[in-house]
Amino acid sequence: MAEKMISIDEALQIVRNNAEVLGIESVGMPEATGRVLAEDVFSDVNMPPFNKSAMDGYACRKEDLSGSLKVLGEIPAGSFQTFTIGQGECVKIMTGAPVPESADVVIMKEYVEILDNDHIRYTKTSGSSNICLLGEDVQKGDKVLSAGTLIRPEHIAVLAGVGKTTVDVCRRPKVAVMTTGSELVEPTEKPSAGQIRNSNGPQMVAQLRSMNFPVEYSGIVEDTPEATQLAIQNALLENDVILLSGGVSVGDYDFVPQVLKELGFTILTTVMAAKPGKHTLFARKGKKHVLGLPGNPVSSYVQLEVIGKELLYNLMGTSFTPFRIKARLAVDFKRKKNNRYEFLPVIISPFGEVELLPYHGSAHIHALTGANALMEIPVGISEISKGESVYVRPL
């Protein structure tokens, strides 16, 4: 009996429902980029911790701007000199330095005329006080980052600012990559008659490393039930996820579904209304997960980006939101069948238009090298006219 073909949205929801956080660990702040916070972070200080100058210039009282002013001294950044500024007085001040309490404006030095060694006058003023007020960015005790935040470099600046040098984060899944196929040889070998080099394995490893996931390459698996079972069992010893290509369809030598069932896995998806990547398998046993991708290189690449990222990001405590933009199609597009959600390698031109590439199907190993985006074609759409907007995912 044929398996029911589910939509990509249904497959993604199944993945979300079956991907739980694997655990929590503490890491140093420099290593936290790309990890997901497992705790709320609060500030132990006001930011800024004092009224500070936003630029190099002179601090004074607004009411004295019309006349000449006596320069009492200078406040460099990093010092905390105290000056009491009275009528007709000012102090030279540097960016980041504390502003005297009696001053309520800083005029940038470019707007100042120096009259003599210790007198100036303002030639121009601005509408801003040019003073960053104590605690205007963050107040002591404020929550600055929430659990579930995917940490980017700008978050590291916040962690540093509040002195959070160690943070609790969700553990990243450890991933084993393997490829099935008796016809495959490693890239270091020259193929004999009937053989091809393994391109999917290195491609998937590279994709995972670009996402900063710990990855183990488990090599090529021969197309036999015994070899498939042994490879999966060994990979499960040290890894949370097995990512494999090939062996997941309905051919005579596609043994992965059978072996997974024998090992106690529940197979949750096998057929998606997706192109490429119709035969994409997702299985789970406790905290172990297997994602089986088709053997064609474009299929494995695309579905690792679509389904694989959703699984891996959810396992480390967040969801994956693909970056998609709308752009106009540069030419007319037609396809014969519209019953699958299609991802097509395309080019976004310098003018922001979507240009089509020569594409011979999911086995076209060079198709992605000339592309800089994937165009999305929803189910039910057979034709798209030149000038119409389409969704694309930049690569």
* Radius of gyration for the alpha carbons in the chain, expressed in angstroms and rounded: 30
Same domain, 300 and 192: yes
- CATH number of the domain that 383 lies in? 2.40.340.10
CA-to-CA distance for 24 and 45, rounded, in angstroms?
27
pLDDT at position 2: 54
Identify which of 240, 238, 162, 212 has the alpha carbon closest to the alpha carbon of residue 35. 212
- CATH number of the domain that 224 lies in? 3.40.980.10
User: What is the phi-psi region of residue 17: left when phi exceeds 0, alpha when psi lies from -120 to 50, beta otherwise?
Assistant: alpha
Domain total of the chain:
4
Identify which of 390, 362, 204, 373 has the alpha carbon closest to the alpha carbon of residue 274. 362
Task: Name the pLDDT band for 250 (thresholds 50, 70, 90).
Answer: low
Identify which of 137, 77, 78 has the alpha carbon closest to the alpha carbon of residue 106. 77
Same domain, 200 and 297: yes
State yes or no: pLDDT of 253 exceeds 70.
no
Same domain, 71 and 95: yes
Q: What is the pLDDT of residues 36-64, one digit of tens each?
A: 999 999 999 999 999 999 999 999 999 99
Identify which of 297, 344, 287 has the alpha carbon closest to the alpha carbon of residue 22. 287
Same domain, 223 and 269: yes
What does 322-348 look like in DSSP terms, one character per residue? ---EEEEESS-EE-S--SSEEEEEEEE
Six-digit token string for 169: 């984060």
- CATH number of the domain that 28 lies in? 3.90.105.10
CA-to-CA distance for 198 and 246, rounded, in angstroms?
11
Same domain, 155 and 254: no
Q: Is the dihedral of CA 264, 25, 209, 315 positive or negative?
A: positive
Same domain, 192 and 311: yes
Q: What is the pLDDT of residues 222-239, one digit of tens each?
A: 999 999 999 999 999 999
Same domain, 221 and 299: yes
Same domain, 177 and 272: yes
Whether residue 1 lies inside any domain: the answer is: no
Six-digit token string for 47: 């930011």
Whether residue 179 lies inside any domain: the answer is: yes
- Give the range of the structural domain holding residue 116, as residue numbers without chain letter: 52-132
Indicate the residue among 132, 160, 189 that finishes a domain.
132
Same domain, 113 and 63: yes
Residue type, 29: M
State yes or no: pLDDT of 379 exceeds 70.
yes
The more confidently predicted of residues 125 and 2 is 125
- CATH number of the domain that 122 lies in? 2.170.190.11
Q: What is the pLDDT of residues 118-165, one digit of tens each?
A: 999 999 877 889 999 999 999 999 999 999 999 999 999 999 999 999
Helices and strands of the chain, counted as H and E runs: 7, 28
